[in-house]
């Protein structure tokens, strides 16, 4: 079926809801389409213990903040409930089951083709995010491994791994959280690291560090902020090289500007220091009973969880934008003059929090979108 709409929004996560909420406030027409069957689809499938790592007061959608009765770091199910209530308030009714396969410009209109329908619109805001497709690396010998290999996106809770030996590959925020939970239930927990990693604490004495980041980034030049963030990191986290964790030669704040989010620690470092999580090198190959690492050591494990991240793969949907995407495959701007009517929201990695960035950037997009109307 073909439908003609003025403003099309792709993706019903926080970015899509932020756009829909702002357009609803402006009494502007829009249509929101979603590949899955829920508002905030990805969060319906994340691991059960997941909480926001950013402060509630800076993580809400436009015009309707997260209620003050919610915890500072909102749990997964509470966040989903908040998004669902937001959608009900603004009468946002996404078309579910709409998996986009192609977006192209035809004349002055944009044509979005899904597996079932075709949408013609004046504007499109792409809100599919940088975590659209799981990254699943492969190693020699995988087929011989007698254990389980799964992506972190398929991990729910530690129950299936009780009294088992588990290797988590990668130490982003998901990998650190999953390893922490496993270390409290599994027989042995390991983390495989290929590269140095920046680690900061999520909070100090229960107070989120995000507020300090917002203040410092607003008043200090980058070089000063970088010096301070490195100093705080050394003071609070310290040197972890003795435990197998090397620190990059750039500060946590400089890393964010490179698109590399630091690990916001909620207890993983303590478990590493206590020997309950053992850090290993990068995998060289699998063996029947486990893995061998590039330093020649090997371990026996029952399961391997790939906390290896996701990719946006926007060029698969919109081939003509390939030349403007950065090394992560994401746009660096909210819109480009050569692609009039096409907007991108939720692909940045702001120093002061992704959800806060979505709220601020959605206003910029709506203001631009409504210019001259």
At which residue do the structure tokens 């309707």 appear?
A: 64
Question: DSSP 3-state assignment of 231?
Answer: helix
SS3 content of the chain, % helix, strand, coil (to 5): 30, 25, 45
Instruction: List phi, psi (to 5°) of 223.
Output: -65, -35
Angstrom distance (rounded) from CA 216 to CA 220 = 6
Q: Is the pLDDT of residue 206 over 90?
A: no
Own/partner contacts of 290-297, CB < 8 Å, gap of 24 or more, are: 290/145, 290/147, 290/165, 290/167, 291/139, 291/145, 291/167, 291/192, 293/192
Q: Is the pLDDT of residue 94 over 90?
A: yes
Angstrom distance (rounded) from CA 18 to CA 369 = 14
Cβ neighbours of 155 (radius 10 Å): 25
Angstrom distance (rounded) from CA 177 to CA 186 = 14
Cβ neighbours of 133 (radius 10 Å): 13
Angstrom distance (rounded) from CA 369 to CA 109 = 14
Q: Is the pLDDT of residue 205 over 70?
A: no
Question: DSSP 3-state assignment of 188?
Answer: strand
CA neighbours within 13 Å on the CB side: how many for 275? 0
Angstrom distance (rounded) from CA 253 to CA 234 = 13
> Which of 105-109, 189-193, 212-216 is most confident?
189-193
First CA to last CA across the chain, in angstroms?
28
Q: What is the pLDDT of residue 373?
A: 60
Average of per-residue pLDDT across 90-100: 97
Q: Is the pLDDT of residue 351 over 80?
A: no
Confidence of residue 29 (pLDDT cuts 50, 70, 90): very high
Name the nearest CA neighbour of 262 among 244, 278, 272, 250: 250
Q: What is the pLDDT of residue 75?
A: 96
Q: What is the pLDDT of residue 258?
A: 83
Average of per-residue pLDDT across 52-75: 95
Q: What is the pLDDT of residue 130?
A: 81
Confidence of residue 213 (pLDDT cuts 50, 70, 90): confident
Q: Is the pLDDT of residue 372 over 80?
A: no
Domains of the chain are 2-132+312-369 (3.50.50.60), 136-306 (3.50.50.60)
Q: What is the pLDDT of residue 326?
A: 87
Name the nearest CA neighbour of 175 among 268, 249, 250: 268
Q: What is the pLDDT of residue 44?
A: 94
pLDDT digits (tens, 9 = 90+) for 230-280: 998 999 999 999 999 999 999 998 988 888 889 999 999 999 999 999 999
CA 108, 113, 115 angle in degrees (round to 5)?
Answer: 175
> Which of 87-101, 216-230, 250-264 is most confident?
87-101
Average of per-residue pLDDT across 152-180: 96
Q: Which of 53-62, 130-139, 354-363 has the lowest mean pLDDT?
A: 130-139
Average of per-residue pLDDT across 340-345: 96
Q: What is the largest CA-CA distance in the chain?
A: 65
Q: Please provide the average confidence, as pLDDT, over all residues in the chain.
A: 93
pLDDT digits (tens, 9 = 90+) for 304-329: 999 999 888 899 999 999 999 988 88
């Amino acid at each position: 079926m073909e439908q003609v709409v003025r403003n099309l929004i792709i993706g019903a996560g926080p970015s899509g809801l932020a756009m829909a909420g702002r357009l609803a406030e402006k009494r502007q027409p829009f249509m929101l389409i979603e590949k899955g069957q829920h508002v905030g689809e990805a969060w319906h499938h994340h691991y059960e213990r997941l909480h926001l790592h950013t402060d509630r007061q800076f993580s809400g959608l436009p015009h309707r903040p997260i209620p003050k009765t919610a915890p500072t770091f909102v749990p997964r199910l509470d966040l989903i409930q908040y998004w669902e209530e937001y959608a009900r308030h603004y009468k946002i009714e996404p078309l579910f089951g709409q998996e986009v396969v192609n977006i192209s410009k035809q004349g002055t209109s944009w044509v979005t083709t899904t597996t079932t329908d075709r949408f013609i619109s004046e504007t499109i805001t792409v809100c599919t995010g940088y975590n659209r497709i799981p990254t699943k690396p492969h190693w020699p010998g995988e087929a011989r491994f007698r254990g389980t290999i799964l992506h972190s996106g398929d991990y729910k809770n530690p129950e299936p791994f009780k009294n088992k030996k588990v290797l988590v590959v990668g130490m982003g925020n998901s990998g650190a959280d999953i390893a922490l939970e496993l270390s409290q239930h599994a027989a042995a927990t390991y983390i495989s690291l290929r590269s140095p990693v920046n680690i900061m604490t999520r909070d100090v004495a229960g107070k989120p560090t995000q507020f300090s980041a917002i203040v410092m980034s607003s008043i200090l030049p980058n070089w000063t902020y970088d010096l301070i963030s490195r100093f705080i990191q050394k003071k609070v986290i310290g040197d972890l090289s003795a435990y197998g964790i090397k620190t990059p030669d750039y500060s946590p704040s400089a890393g964010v500007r490179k698109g590399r989010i630091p690990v916001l620690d909620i207890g993983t470092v303590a478990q590493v220091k206590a020997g309950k999580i053992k850090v290993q090198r990068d995998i060289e190959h699998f063996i029947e009973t486990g893995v061998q690492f590039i330093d020649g050591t090997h371990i026996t494990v029952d399961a391997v969880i790939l906390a290896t991240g996701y990719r946006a793969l926007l060029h698969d949907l919109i081939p003509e934008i390939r030349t403007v995407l950065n090394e992560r495959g994401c746009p660096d701007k909210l819109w480009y003059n050569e692609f009039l009517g096409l907007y991108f929201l939720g692909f940045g990695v702001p120093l002061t929090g992704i959800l806060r960035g979505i709220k601020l950037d959605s206003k910029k997009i709506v203001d631009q979108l409504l210019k001259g109307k």
